[in-house]
Amino acid sequence: MENVGGLCFLCGHGSTFQMINLPKVQIASQSASVTSALVCNDCRDMHPHLARRRLVRMKYFIRSYTVEHLHPTNLRFLHVKSGTSSELLLPSKICFLWDLRCLDIYEATVLPFEIWDMAELRYLTVKSAILPDPVVSADFIILENLHTLCTIRNFKCTEAVLQKIPNLKKLKCHYDKKRSMEWSYYCLNNLARLHKLESLSIDAKDLSLKNISFPTSLKDLRLGRCNISWEEMTIIGSSLPILETLVLIDNAFNGYEWNPVEGQFLHLKVLYIYKSDLLWWRAENNHFPNLKRLFLIRMHLLKEIPLGIGDIATLDLIYLWNCGDSVLDSAKQILEEQDSLGNETLQIYVGRKKLRS
C-alpha cells in the first residue's frame, strides 16, 4: 500500500491516505472485480474489515461531464449534491444499493423506475423529482418501510402507487400542471386511503377541495397557492379530527372573510398563515381551544386579530411580521388585557421585537 493524496472515500476528510483494493460490483456487467479506493488511516483503523465490503460505482452525467462515485452496496445513507443547476439523472443502478434506507438528493432529479425496487428505503427526500409510474407485476415489490416521500412533482396517487407505499407517513408534493390537464388525472381523492399518513404538504395553484380527499390520520397539513375559498375551510375542520398543525402559504385560501365553526380544529396547536387577502377573521376562543402558537405573516389587508384569540388558555405565542398597523394595535390590546388578567404566559413578537404592555 502506498500513501497518496486526495479525499477519503468514506469520510471525505483526513490527511494521510492509503490506496487499498476493494471488491466491487460493476454497473455494466454486475460481475465481481477489483478496484482501488482512497481510504484515510483513521477510517481504515475504525473499519478493519473494510476490504470485505462490496462497492457499486455510481455514474451519472452533468452537462458534458461524467461523474463517478463508489459506494458500499450495504450503504444505508446517501446524500447527493452535484453543485449544478442542471437536472440530475439518477442512474438506474441505484438499486444495487439494496440496503439503502435514506436517499437525500439536493437537486432537481429524474428518478429511475428502479427506485420502486428498493425495498429497504425509508426516507426519500429530493429538491424536486418526478416519480415514475410503477407497474403491477408478478414480482411486485411493496415498499413497506417507506415513511417519507418529499418533494414529488405532479404526484399521481394511482392504485399502483397506493399498493407500493401503504405505510407512508409524510408526503410533500407540488404541481405545475398544464391548464388542459384535469385534477382528476392525479387521483388525489385516493390520498384518503393512505391511512398512516400524518404529514401532507401540497403546493398547487387553483386546487379545489372537491378534487382531493384527506386521510383522517393527518396531524400536519400544509397548503400553498391553492386559492381555496375560506368557506371550504369547514371541509378541513370537519374531516381532520386530530389535526395539530395547519400551515397556509401564499394565498392557500382566498376571500375576505373567514368564519370558523365551533367544534372543529379541537386539537389544532399551530396556525401559520403567510400572505393572504383575508380582511375579517371572525374567530373566538372556542373555535381553537388548544391553539398554542399563531403566526400571521404578510397579512396586509387583515383588520385585526380577534380579541377572543387572547382568551385561549393554551396560547403562548403570537408572531407577526409585515402586517398592518391595525393588526399591531389589536395585538397590543390583547396583550394588555391578558396582563390585566394575570396571564404572564402569552408572548407577542413583531419580527424579532417582543411587545410589552
Q: What pLDDT is stored for residue 46 in this prediction?
A: 59
Q: In the chain, pLDDT over 90 holds for what percent of residues? A: 64
Q: Determine the pLDDT at residue 219.
A: 98
Q: State the pTM of this model.
A: 0.82
Q: What is the pLDDT of residue 213?
A: 96
Looking at per-residue pLDDT, the higher value among 152 and 31 belongs to 152
SS3 content of the chain, % helix, strand, coil (to 5): 20, 30, 45
Residues 105, 121: contact at Cβ < 8 Å?
A: no
Strand partners, 103: 78, 124
Q: What's the pLDDT score for residue 228? A: 96
pLDDT tens readout for residues 94-114: 877 788 899 988 888 889 999
- Quick check: 68 pLDDT over 90? no
pLDDT, tens digit, 9 for 90 and up, residues 8-28:
655 555 555 444 444 433 333
Strands 102-110 and 317-321: unpaired
Q: What is the DSSP string of 144-178?
A: TT--EEEEEET----HHHHHH-TT--EEEEEE---
Across all residues in the chain, what is the average pLDDT? 84
Lowest mean pLDDT segment, chosen from 133-137, 244-248, 299-303, 343-347: 133-137
Q: What is the pLDDT of residue 20?
A: 43
**Region of poorest pLDDT, from 25-34, 146-155, 322-331:** 25-34
Domains of the chain: 1-53 (no CATH), 219-357 (3.80.10)
